[in-house]
Structure formats: C-alpha cells, structure tokens
Structure 1
Amino acid sequence: MFTILPTKGFIDQIDGFFCDGIHAGLKPNGKLDLGFIYSDTLCDVDAVFTLNKFQAAPVKHFQRYEKGFKTNFVLINSKNANALTGQSGIDNIDKVFSSLKFDLTNPIMSSTGVIGNPLPVEKIVSGANSFNLSSKNGDNLSKAIMTTDAYPKTSLYEVKLEDGSSFKIGSVAKGAGMINPNLATMLCFICTDAAIPQEDMKELLEANSHTTFNAISVDGDTSTNDTVLLLANKKSNTYNKEAFKEALRLVMHDMAMLMVADGEGAKKAVAFEVNGALNDQEAEIAAKALSNSLLVKTALFGEDPNFGRIASTIGASRVTCDENTLVISYNDVIVFNKGEICFDKAQEAKASQVLKNDKYKVICDLGIAEGKFTAYGCDLGYKYVEINADYRS
C-alpha cells in the first residue's frame, strides 16, 4: 500500500536538488532565459527524446555519454534550439561546459527556441558563471525555460509507503506549440530522491510516455529538441516500483495536460476517448487522428458540435469501423447513435453547451470490439497563426 499526495512547490523541495533561472541576454526586455538544475550528489539519469530525424545538438551531446552515466548538473536555455547546427552545435556545448567555474560531472545541456541559429556561447557562459548552485528558486527556473508558453508548468508529489518511509518526485516543463505525438514538442525535467534502480528508469519512462506525452497534440508538428529527462539522486533511500510508476505517471500526465491547455492560443483542452475498437492499436490511430485533425480543431474553436467532422476523421484513419455501430457523444450528450442522427435542435443545443466548457470529452464508441485509447488535443484559432507567423522575433 502507498499514498501519493500532491504538494505545492517546485523541484527544489526535493532533498539535494537546487535550481534557479536568470536573464543572460538571450531574450529581450530582461526576461529570464537561462536556468539550471543541480544535485549535491550524483544522479542516475535516463531520458526519452524526439523521433524527429534532425535531432538537435543537445540531444546528440547527451547520447555521447556512456550508458549508465551519472550527472549532477543540467543547463537549460531558451530562445535558441541549437538545432540544425551540425558538429559546431555539439562543439559549442563542450565550449560552454569547459568554460564554467563549477565542479561538474557529465553535465547535460537542453535547449529550446529558434532552429538554425548558432548557440550564443559567450552569453550563456557569462550567465551560467553567475549561478549560485545553492539557490532554490524553482519559480525562476520554470519561467526561464519558457518560449511561447503562456504560463509555467510544474508538478510535485510526495509518496508515502506503508512502512512510513517516503520519497518525492516533481517536474518542471515547457511546451505549447509544435506539439505532436512522438514526444510532443517539449522539455520536461523530472527529479526524484527515490532510490529507483537504473534499470527501472527507462522502462517506466517509456511506459508512461505512451499515455501522456505521446498522447497529446496541439498542431501535428514534432520538434527537434523534445526531451524528457529523469534524474534520481536516491537520497531518500526509499523505493517501491508500483508506487513510483504511478507517481511518475501523475507527474507526466500533469505536464502533458498543461501543455495541451496552453497550446499557443488554445482555449479548449479536449480528451478524444475512443472505445470499442478492433484493438488498442486501432483505437490509438483513431484517437490521434481526431486530436491532430485541423477541421476538428477549428470546429472546437468555433464551439460547433459538428459530429460529421468527428465521423469523417475516424473513417479517414482507415481503422475498422461501421456507421451502424458507431456512437458519438460530447461528454454525455449523444449526437450519433448506431446509424441514427440524434442531432435535433435540443441535442445540438446541449452539445453546444458542452463545447463552451474549457475541458470536455469527445467520446467515440466504434462498437467493434474492446480496444480503447485516449488522446488529448486542443482547439486551433487565430492566436496560433499570429504567434507562429512571427516566431523568430
């Protein structure tokens, strides 16, 4: 038995972890743009990365380390992705770390921002050398890593085991655009003092990614820099695999839902719940087709319960389906029921009312078998175009 309790605060409340964010001159107007995570003891580390074929220099730099390496430092910059920068991008990371005054072991760098610009090494070195590694300012860190995010994204839990022992797990993340299944466009840093074995880290990261970060979509684009990093300093000397897996799922789900809700001008966060599919794989195909569909997204933006767009998207996904077994609902409002159109004025009004909410479900029961999957998406409106038309500025 175990208890998982949500806790107010940031990753700096976890024993042995320190963090902060500063302005190093990468963003205009004095905004925070460079942050760090530091552990006073070495951490086991594992990660999952973007499936984009053009992985950014920080991802490639991480992959040079030997399997099972330990680290005590993560440096994170915004405004510059250090992607499509070739070998010089990796070399610039080495230049940064060789110029820092701190005693670091296998330091990790993570970057987010505009693709195709050289890393501003001098600004980053100057800023990083001003860090106080004993700082505990998770609020600053959460703001420093933001790009088009409307708000910071953090999560923290305490896990209490039956014998009275406990551990903490928390995260800080960024992500609002270029969000698409296969990691979503994002950076997420998860810290824990749990004594998790190295071999469990990758297993549990990958298991939980499938239903969290790999189940969300804002705009159908996958970034070059997507990273989910798990750092464990083991200072609690406490671990339970079942409890850790669930706590990790909660942390990752929190971050994924905050990203969808923040989807660059988004006003609606929607769960696309597909049930009754031939198998789980076909349910996932249909659910992700719905979360990625531009026609569906614009209908959500217009608060238009157009079930035709839902049905058409499912059919276009080429999964096994039949209009005579299909049921479509907005929350508990059924609009199409096994070949019968239920979209009279009364039902349309009820469905329209559901779509005025900030959060709701689009439920599609294919009526074929037992397969199920839930994907998460958002609406797409004018603000998304405005942000991305002018992104480099």
Structure 2
Amino acid sequence: MQKIKSATDYRNELESRGALPEGFSTGFTGLTFSPTELGSDQVMEMNLSMLMLDKPTTVFAGTFTKNLFPGAPVLLCRKRLENDRFRGIIINNKIANVCIETGVEDSEELLKAAAVQLGCSPDELMASSTGVIGWRLPVNEMINALPSAVESLRSNSRRNAVELAERIMTTDSFPKLRSRSVCGGRITAVAKGAGMIEPNMATMLCFIITDLSISRDELREMLPPIVGETFNRISVDSDQSTSDMVIAASSDRKPCADKAEFRKALYEVCSELAEDIVRNGEGTGHVIRVTVDGAASVEEASAIGKALVNSPLVKTAIAGNDPNVGRFASSIGDYCGNNGIKLPVDKMEISLGGELIFSGGGFCMTPAKEFRLAAYLSECGTIPEHKGWPVHEKTVNIDINIGMGNSRSTILGSDLTHEYVRENADYRT
C-alpha cells in the first residue's frame, strides 16, 4: 500500500480494492434508539447493514467464537450453517445481543421481518451484532428501519464494499477491506474489530464473498485452517469476544480452474485483514510481529508468541519505545516454566528489529544497540490517538528461535497505551 496521507486518500485506496464480486449487493440505513438499560432518555445511533446475494447459494461457511457466553447471533448462525441455502446477512453495530433472555428470539424476529421485505425465507438469512454486551436490541426500531435498508439495497448500483466496511465499525478508527482478483473472478472481504481481540476460532467480524465456483465442501474445508493461521494468531488485548465470526459465501458465478490459487488468495485476504485489525486496535501505537521458530510444534510456537504479545510489561515497554529486552526473556520463561516446556536457554536466540539481543544464555546489548533499538521502535510507531487511516504498515519485528524443533508460527499483537485505557474506560459513556 502506498503511503496514505489523509482519510480521503485511504478511502480512495479502499474503493480501488472494494468492488463486489458478481452476484452480491449491499444496503444500509441508520436508526436511533434509547437503551433501556441506561434508565435515561439518552439517544444513540445504530447502523443496520445488509450483505445479500442476488440469488440464494448453497456455498457458504463460517467459523465462530469459542467463548462460552456466545452472542445470540452466533448461536443462530451456527444453526443456519446446517441449512441448504444462504441468501445474506443482516448486521448491526452498537449492541452485541449477548446474554439477553430474548436474544435469539429478537434476532429471529428481525430476520423474519427482513425476509418479508426481501421476498425470501428467514431460514436463508443470518444475523450479526457487535457492540455493548448485556443490552437488548431495539427490535421495533430496527424493524421499522428495514424498508429503508432494503430500498438502499435495491438502488445501490455502485457495488463497492467500502460503505459496508465503514458501517459495521464500533470503536474501529478506520475501515478494513481487502481483495484479490484470481482465476478470472474475485474475492472481497471486510472486517471490523479493534478491542476485545484475541479470536479463537474480537469483537471481530469478517465477511468474505466471492463469485468463483467452489463447492460447499471445499469452502468448508478451506476456511477453518485459514482462520486458524490468520485471525487466530492475533491479539490486541487477550480478550476473546462473545461475538467473533467469519462468514464466507460464493455466488457461484465463475468457474475456478485452480483451487490452489483460490486458497492462496483467500489466505492472503484473511492475513492482511488480520494485520489491519491489530493495526486498528484500540489505542494501538505499534504493531508487534513475533515469529517463533525452533519449537516442538506449531501450537507451542503460537502459544509462546502469544505469551509475549500479551505481556503487559512487554506491551508497555514497546509503547514507550523502550528496548527493555529483559521483559521479552522473562515472558517467554514465565510461559514455558508454567507449561512444562523445558526450554534450552543456552540454545535460544532473540532478535529485535533484526539485531541479536539474546544468545548463548545471555543478553548481548550495548549502549549503541540500545540507542538504535529505541530509534527503531519509535520509527515503527504511530500516535495512538490518530484516527481515520493507517499511517504506515510497519511492524516491530521480534524473532525467537528456541532451539527445540522445526516448527514455526507468527503472531501479531499490539502495544498497550494510555489511549487504550481511556477508550475502554469511557466505552459506554
């Protein structure tokens, strides 16, 4: 991506990559409501978005949060995956619809009303909600807004996913959209997520659409491992959301001659969106890329990498452009020691920004190296309060070889800043 200098530049970049695959359209509307849980007349705004196929498809797949308090839309979508046909998904921001006694019933009521407007079966529709946990959806207001959303759907001739990426945001500071042209067709995907992010398939939503012909079984075989290799290897704040979901669908319009190329493109789109989510993390000033090599298994490498990016001491040191490398070794040793991993310390190596900082059982730092690494961290950072677009795509690169095996994994994380605390302290107010 070329260097972006303004929100307008970034939106133009997104529009250049945001064309919808054949057979899809989007519609939007806004509404206002007063949350009953606040006990006041405070008025809030909500976006209601539709991502629809022109005709129902049999080719769709999904992966969902493993949080034991899943949102009502997650429960509903899991059941919908068993159905034969899929027509589209209705998405709202502001309220997550989690742990509400009438949550599933509320989502179903909304989908039934939408189905009447769209002329399809409610069983062909899915729901997705993101926002505050513990509030009930303003169902009546949402149903009253549906005709406007459907009118937008039918009149939306631009067929670009940019507005969808914008409308599903909550605390996100910029929209996230990636795409690939492959095998004569197209894959386009949008995602949202900035806080409560350590997916395990936060709040993380991703919608992937393609016009390439691929079987239902092939898509359902491809999606889970790709999600595991991309979205499940990121962490902003180590909290797994109640609402995480990745939904993929094909309009089955164009032949796909090379399934390997399709899988590669699907992986690239998901990988780029995963990094976008971390870069867009609440209060993020640095994106941290930890590569763990020499592990006994991929799972072990991933766990060690996550231990590092989830360490508050590591995160705050990087936020302050402080190459406090002792914290790196401490977090690795803490995780391994408490999980029965017999780490050969004398074989382990750690590098920061390509410079060796630990080897042969000890640190190899000098005052000059401290100065260079502090400058490196500063160069990789951005102002956490910055909103609207990603200033650059630089990452703080930490490479670890633990000298135990041949497995490798890369984990993406973020630092921890005052801005993260402020955003989450003020989230509902």
TM-score range, shorter chain: over 0.9
Aligned to 2:26: 19
**1:308 to partner: Cα distance:** 1.0
The structure that is helix-richer by fraction is 2
Which residue, 212, 215, 223 being the options, matches 2:241?
223
Q: Helix, strand or coil: the match of 1:60?
A: helix
Percent identity of paired positions between Structure 1 and Structure 2: 34
**1:291 to partner: Cα distance:** 1.7
Contact 2:292 2:409 in 1 (8 A): yes
Q: Structure 1 8/99 Cα, relative in aligned 2: closer, same or farther at 3 Å? A: closer
**1:112 to partner: Cα distance:** 0.1
Q: Structure 1 320/8 Cα, relative in aligned 2: closer, same or farther at 3 Å? A: farther
2:166 is equivalent to residue 143 of structure 1: yes
**In 2: Cα distance, 1:59 partner to 1:74 partner:** 12
Tell me the alpha carbon deviations over residues 40-63 of structure 1, each in whole angstroms, 9 at most, x when there is no partner: 121221100000011110011122
**1:71 to partner: Cα distance:** 1.3
Q: Structure 1 183/264 Cα, relative in aligned 2: closer, same or farther at 3 Å? A: farther
Contact 2:283 2:420 in 1 (8 A): yes
Q: Mean alpha-carbon deviation: is it higher for 276-285 or for 288-297?
A: 276-285
**In 2: Cα distance, 1:209 partner to 1:371 partner:** 19
**1:30 to partner: Cα distance:** 8.7
The one-letter code of the counterpart of 1:225 is: S
**In 1: Cα distance, 2:344 partner to 2:399 partner:** 16
Aligned to 1:74: 89
Q: Structure 1 183/192 Cα, relative in aligned 2: closer, same or farther at 3 Å? A: same
**1:213 to partner: Cα distance:** 0.4
Aligned to 1:199: 217
Aligned to 1:163: none
Q: Helix, strand or coil: the match of 2:185?
A: strand
**1:320 to partner: Cα distance:** 3.2
**In 2: Cα distance, 1:291 partner to 1:19 partner:** 36
Aligned to 1:155: 178
Aligned to 1:179: 197
Q: Structure 1 60/258 Cα, relative in aligned 2: closer, same or farther at 3 Å? A: same
Aligned to 2:416: 380
**1:149 to partner: Cα distance:** 0.1
**1:314 to partner: Cα distance:** 0.8
Which residue, 337, 348, 351 being the options, matches 1:326?
348
If the length of structure 1 is used for normalisation, what is the TM-score? Answer: 0.92
Residue segments in structure 2 that go unaligned for 5+ positions in a row: 1-12, 35-41, 382-394
Aligned to 1:335: 357
The one-letter code of the counterpart of 2:252 is: K
Contact 1:68 1:198 in 2 (8 A): no
2:47 is equivalent to residue 33 of structure 1: yes
Which residue, 342, 348, 366 being the options, matches 2:402?
366
Q: Mean alpha-carbon deviation: is it higher for 277-286 or for 69-78?
A: 277-286
Kindly report the root-mean-square deviation, in angstroms, between the aligned alpha carbons of the 2 structures: 2.0
**In 1: Cα distance, 2:300 partner to 2:77 partner:** 34
Q: Structure 1 7/97 Cα, relative in aligned 2: closer, same or farther at 3 Å? A: closer
2:368 is equivalent to residue 346 of structure 1: yes
2:119 is equivalent to residue 103 of structure 1: yes
Tell me the alpha carbon deviations over residues 248-301 of structure 1, each in whole angstroms, 9 at most, x when there is no partner: 111111111011011101011111111112332221221111121111111110
Q: 1:49-88 residue pairs with structure 2 within 5 A?
A: 49-65=64-80, 67-86=82-101, 88=102
**In 2: Cα distance, 1:53 partner to 1:97 partner:** 24
Q: Helix, strand or coil: the match of 1:248?
A: helix
2:319 is equivalent to residue 301 of structure 1: yes
Tell me the alpha carbon deviations over residues 145-192 of structure 1, each in whole angstroms, 9 at most, x when there is no partner: 1000000011111003xxxxx110011110000001414430000000
Q: Mean alpha-carbon deviation: is it higher for 25-34 or for 357-366?
A: 25-34
Q: Mean alpha-carbon deviation: is it higher for 316-325 or for 259-268?
A: 316-325
Q: Structure 1 94/30 Cα, relative in aligned 2: closer, same or farther at 3 Å? A: closer
2:333 is equivalent to residue 315 of structure 1: yes
**1:341 to partner: Cα distance:** 2.2
**In 2: Cα distance, 1:277 partner to 1:54 partner:** 33
2:299 is equivalent to residue 285 of structure 1: no
**In 2: Cα distance, 1:215 partner to 1:94 partner:** 32
Tell me the alpha carbon deviations over residues 56-100 of structure 1, each in whole angstroms, 9 at most, x when there is no partner: 1001112233625221121100000011113x1111112112223
Q: Helix, strand or coil: the match of 2:191?
A: strand
Contact 2:18 2:162 in 1 (8 A): no
Contact 2:65 2:242 in 1 (8 A): yes
Stretches of 4+ aligned residues off by more than 3 angstroms: 6-12, 26-32
**1:31 to partner: Cα distance:** 6.2
**1:32 to partner: Cα distance:** 6.3
Q: Helix, strand or coil: the match of 1:281?
A: helix
**In 2: Cα distance, 1:238 partner to 1:66 partner:** 23
Contact 1:81 1:115 in 2 (8 A): yes
**In 1: Cα distance, 2:81 partner to 2:359 partner:** 55
Residue segments in structure 1 that go unaligned for 5+ positions in a row: 1-5, 161-165
**In 1: Cα distance, 2:191 partner to 2:167 partner:** 10
**1:207 to partner: Cα distance:** 1.1
**1:8 to partner: Cα distance:** 5.2
**In 2: Cα distance, 1:310 partner to 1:282 partner:** 17
**1:104 to partner: Cα distance:** 2.6
**In 2: Cα distance, 1:287 partner to 1:194 partner:** 35
**1:29 to partner: Cα distance:** 8.9
Q: Structure 1 66/150 Cα, relative in aligned 2: closer, same or farther at 3 Å? A: closer
Contact 2:130 2:203 in 1 (8 A): no
**In 2: Cα distance, 1:117 partner to 1:290 partner:** 34
